[in-house]
A and B are shown apart, each in its own frame.
Chain A
Amino acid sequence: MWRFSLFLCCAALLPAQPAKYGVGRPATLDEIRGLGTAIAPDGTGLPEGSGTAAAGQELFAARCARCHGDKAQGGVGPVLVGGQGTLATAKPLKTVGSFWPYATTVWDYINRAMPFDQPGALKPPEVYALVAYLLNLNGIIPANQAMDAKTLPKVKMPNRDGFVPDPRPDVGRKR
């Protein structure tokens, strides 16, 4: 939905032009790889490797539970489980399971930002395992389903269709 947005029109308006100022040098492959991976919702950028909920549970206990609680119920860090069915209530609980529209985002965020005090320390199979554990804990995938570059983008998150475009100005009358 967001791929073919209105904004596409503008790219078509930009004819290929030669560089005008000629500053900088070509970015090297090493430089681009050195930035790490950014993961698209269709899975573009996901590295090799795979992991299961069982492996993820062990990792979580060792590296995440001290901040997020032993059952991901929250602590210093936010709660990572529950909340499905609450979004339209007076007390919505937004979690990975109830609110996040793409499983790829869970991978991308844990990979770039967690553990909070050791970001970038996890290897791809560990990130796959942690995502598998959190998705299973939220009842989204079965315990035996391994997560990898093929299976992860196919996971349909419960709130995939929960987002709408910005309709503003919706309040604030015009003179």
Chain B
Amino acid sequence: MKDSAKSSRRQMFRLGAAVTGGLLAKRELAAQEATSKLGIPLGPYGERSPFEKAIRWTRDSKTPETGSSFTPLADSVGTLTPSSLHYERHHAGIPTIDPVQHRLIIHGMVERPLSLTMAEIRRLPSVTRTLVLECGGNSGSEWAAKTGADVQRSHGLVSCSEWTGVPLSLVLQEAGVKPGAAWVIAEGADACRMERSIPLAKAMDDILLAYGQNGEAIRPAQGYPLRLIIPGWEGNTNVKWLHSLKLTDQAYMARDETAKYTDLMPNGKARIFTYDMEAKSVITFPSGGQTLPGPGVYELTGLAWSGHGRVERVEITTDGGATWTQARLQEPRLPIAFTRFRLPWLFEGRDAVIGSRAIDETGYVQPTREALIEVRGVNSGYHYNGIKLWKVHAAGMVTNVEV
């Protein structure tokens, strides 16, 4: 009995060794094959390696034309988001627009109502800027602590791209703004004709009529062929598929600036025209859903940004906020763009609560969740920028402390 049990165990061992050996041999063979076999020929439009699996996450919906998809921040390296992984928020699906047919109409309180083709817009003096775009509702789930298990779900409605376009001020001057005009009503060519009111002062300052993203035409999901890019303002104001700009003397109180994208306070009053996205940061490694293989030194890393300019400092805590250490920032630090921060950390195999806080060039310090809630309650929905804490468990798993 004993003997046979032993021998069968030995057999299993041998079997196991054979299987592992086989796997190893197979892997070596594959590596050899790569060098002993011709590769795939050149192609007209690039694809990533089939081994790379990072994808956007989309919440299930009975009306998938309105909804959002989240950037996989934990998989991102550097400071740019690939256009293919840029977050999406649409209210009526992605329209298919032929750029040859598309026109931008500038009308209302202007001297010369204008109709511009894409070719005409592209002829005008352009500028290129790297800018972060963040949905006003990003990490809104953290208010009520019914939030995502990982950084993609909790913070993924933010992305950073290089945008190219014509200053809106230039085109408005072409049309000649009439005295008394104070607002620009922007409208998209999607099925709900998304509409937002934009103060003329901002329109004359730094808004772009963007047609380029990361070196090519803007993707359909990002507003092809033309969208507004409004530095530092909530994503919803950056109207996509732009086809109309109407100059007016009043805000139009569109659904997406009254019923939505207003911030309800505990006293029942809602803040309106809350355009700015304040300084924010989040650790992307280690972050929710990941596991550290064991104690040792790891480089903590993450992203910081501010709608008000450059990120000046990022500080990191590994003891739940008791002490803070300055992280190293990747240069160049561009205003209103992702700034990557890094800090080596010794994980001792004990529970640790880690987090980051950004300080921007205005001196603004990213607040704690508690400080935000004390003033705004938990029902304001938008513009959440609290310090994000992750719990690293002794065994190495990482979880969202707010889950």
Contact = CB atoms under 8 A, between A and B. Distances in A.
A76 B149 CA distance: 26
Interface in A148-169: 162-169
Given A11-B179, A24-B114, A112-B193, A38 B364 contact: no
Contact of A172 (B201, B246, B271, B364): B364
Contacts of A104: 253
Interface residues on B, range: 35 or more
Given A101-B258, A174-B363, A11 B278 contact: no
A60 interface: no
A135 B176 CA distance: 40
B15 interface: no
B246 to A, nearest CB: 6
Contacts, number: 223
B278 A172 contact: yes
Contacts of B366: 172
B192 A113 contact: yes
B281 interface: no
B275 interface: yes
B65 to A, nearest CB: 8
Interface stretch (B43-51, B70-78, B104-112, B224-232): B104-112
Nearest to B106: A27
Consensus secondary structure, chain A interface: loop
Contacts of B42: none
B365 A172 contact: yes
A35 B274 contact: no
B198 to A, nearest CB: 9
B351 to A, nearest CB: 28
A6 B273 CA distance: 13
A87 B271 CA distance: 13
Interface string A75-105: 0110000000001101010101001111011
A33 to B, nearest CB: 10
Nearest to A111: B193
A123 interface: no
A27 B113 contact: yes
B258 A105 contact: yes
Interface of A: 2-3, 5-12, 14, 16-28, 31-32, 35-36, 38-42, 76-77, 87-88, 90, 92, 94, 96, 99-102, 104-105, 108-109, 112-113, 116, 119-120, 162-175
Given A87-B270, A163-B258, 13 more contacts: A7-B201, A10-B201, A14-B204, A23-B116, A24-B120, A31-B105, A32-B113, A40-B248, A41-B250, A88-B267, A119-B92, A164-B265, A165-B273
